[in-house]
Structure 1
Amino acid sequence: MNTVEDRIRAVFADAGCSGWLHARRCDDSTGEISVDGHSRVVSASIYKLPLFVAFCRGVDAGRIDPAARLTVLPSDCTPGPTGIAVLRDPVTMSRRDLATSMMTVSDNAAADVLLGEIGLGAVEELLADVGLTETRVVGGTADQYRTLVRDTDTHSTAEAFAALADNDEAWSVSAYDPSYTSATTPQEMTRLLRAIWTGAVLSPEQTDFVRSVMRKQPWSHRIASAFPHRGVSVAGKTGTIGVIRNEVAVVEFPGEYPVAVAVFTRAARADPVLPVVDAAIAEVARIAVTELRRPLPDA
């Protein structure tokens, strides 16, 4: 008889990718689903989640004015397919709106501005306080792109990504190695999500802000596609670079405990779009969350 973990591994194998998963309820139980969930994996844009929480902690501490406005020039923007990086004119936004753009549409430019505002030290302090000893953020997206250009021996970010998408080349770049880039474990990401959802890391106001922003992520091709039911909320953050496709999320059914799930993958093929891997992320999340669903005591 196949276990839940066996079924999850089979989904990853059928999709042609390596995969790592961890899921737990956002309560005080110890139940979990883990498929190599303690292994270190590449974060990609998942690093924006601890950055976001560190920003909100700064607001709670009175160190950051979330309404203060910043002007970002196009020449200063980190490249990216979404957010302010695609705009042609200077943009003035509040810090809070930059954080929102960073999380909802994975805005690379907004993320690097925000990281410059609060500093890596604030992120490291958050990680230490929550006990995320295997998670590290080594820099922002611009730092990663500079390294990627160097590793691929190209001259621009666009050329570097074109090189990564070539199936005839076996690129061994630091962006794919958790020893050299921002990294975490699936288990530590569900621990962070549980800490957020239970109010253990932020004030009630900032907890509500984080939850509401994460529920607004528009991408529905990964975990959200597994839960199309009316009334079900999926609050997530994706992460993608080359063969790396990830998502962490909290899935909330009405009258039930929220379930945190973290899925990280590395595809065998370098194609920039692989719907079969996105579908696998959804399916393994569905399997894990279904196993962990429990009603609230007063439901």
Structure 2
Amino acid sequence: MTDALARIDAAFADAGVTGRLHALDIDSGAQLGTGADQPVCTASVHKLCLLVALHELAAAGRLDLTEQVESPPADRTAGPTGVAAMLDAARMSLRDLAYLMVAVSDNAAADLLLRRVGLDAVNATTARLGLTATLAVHSFGEMLATVKEDAGPEGARALADPRVITRLRALDPARTNRSTPRDMTRLLGAVWRDEACPPEHGAAVRRILGLQVWPHRLASGFPFDDVHVAGKTGSLPTLRNEVGVVEYPDGGRYAVAVFTRTGHTAATLPAADAVIGTAARIAVDALREKARRSR
């Protein structure tokens, strides 16, 4: 394990990022991590917490996942994907909004769900599951509003200035939605073991996470047709995250959470994206080797 952690830290350094990681063998409980208990900004990774809370409420009969929600264009959280990018009025079910929230990280869909579920319910779910370092403090639209406000009158152009980046509240775990890598793998483990929700709802959560379209982070470390990766990304200026579960054909299941920050302000940094997959692969390989040796 020590060698794997050294390789992970070296991979982060080579990619020019500061990385925090935790990996968990869902069935044996074996784990490894670097900075696993450090508070991190979750960004869109917190949509996972909202997804689980949504299904917990549905399982309790407090909402119907087929309930229809109206989404007029003038009342949507901004974003480049899904409902957020649409020009016309839309109407869809809670469960279809959940799909868009995860598959393409649709901010408008997420905030429509959050209006129905509520921040208190999201935090009650994470507290029930023992995620003591995980807290939602604002909606995704409110988080983006702090970025706009903190950037100042120059708007998005100011985000190329490292000095502006340092004052963004959305990049301070003490002032935004937050968690730790260990909390996130604990949540994923609970979902995959049907401890977070009853089996029917756990299966629905797993299905949606498996439909995420982004292949450039966690999934890039596992380019095999018979290995399944399900996850949720999160992105903000200088921040790239992904948490997810890697499932092997022999039945091995591994929850991995990787959170990174870089000093570079460019929106496109392929090496910073790819190292999430690289680090996750090193971690999962180490857990699989440990399991092989213990047989």
Structure 1 and Structure 2 fold alike (TM over 0.5):
yes
Structure 1 unpaired stretches of 5+: none
Q: Distance in 2 between matches of 1:128 and 1:236?
A: 21
Q: Distance in 2 between matches of 1:2 and 1:238?
A: 27
Counterpart in the other structure of 1:234: 229
Change (3 A) 1:171 1:61: same
Any idea what SS the aligned residue of 1:248 has? Answer: strand
Superposed displacement of residue 166, structure 1: 3.7
Any idea what SS the aligned residue of 1:293 has? Answer: helix
Counterpart in the other structure of 2:26: 26
Q: Distance in 2 between matches of 1:165 and 1:104?
A: 28
* 8 Å CA contact 1:252, 1:259 repeated in 2: yes
Matches within 5 A, 1:184-263: 184-263=179-258
Matches within 5 A, 1:51-90: 51-90=50-89
Q: Distance in 1 between matches of 2:212 and 2:156?
A: 24
Q: Considering only aligned residues, what root-mean-square deviation do their CA atoms show, in Å?
A: 1.6
> What amino acid sits opposite 1:268 in the alignment?
G
CA displacement, residues 266-287 of structure 1 (integer Å, 9 cap, x when unaligned) = 0110001110101111100110
Superposed displacement of residue 291, structure 1: 1.1
Q: Distance in 1 between matches of 2:68 and 2:252?
A: 37
Change (3 A) 1:5 1:118: same
**Percent of aligned pairs with the same amino acid:** 44
Structure 2 unpaired stretches of 5+: none
Superposed displacement of residue 2, structure 1: 6.4
Q: Distance in 2 between matches of 1:231 and 1:108?
A: 31
Runs of 4+ that moved beyond 6 A:
none
Does residue 159 of structure 2 align to residue 164 of structure 1?
yes
Question: Scaled by the length of structure 2, what TM-score is found?
Answer: 0.95
Counterpart in the other structure of 2:8: 8
Change (3 A) 1:168 1:143: closer
Q: Distance in 2 between matches of 1:195 and 1:237?
A: 16
Change (3 A) 1:231 1:152: same
Query: How many aligned positions are there?
Result: 291
Does residue 281 of structure 2 align to residue 282 of structure 1?
no
* 8 Å CA contact 1:215, 1:236 repeated in 2: yes
* 8 Å CA contact 1:166, 1:271 repeated in 2: no
Any idea what SS the aligned residue of 2:255 has? Answer: strand
* 8 Å CA contact 2:188, 2:255 repeated in 1: yes
* 8 Å CA contact 2:21, 2:259 repeated in 1: yes
Counterpart in the other structure of 1:126: 125
> What amino acid sits opposite 2:137 in the alignment?
V
Q: Distance in 1 between matches of 2:255 and 2:157?
A: 34
> What amino acid sits opposite 2:202 in the alignment?
T
> What amino acid sits opposite 1:9 in the alignment?
D
Does residue 46 of structure 2 align to residue 47 of structure 1?
yes
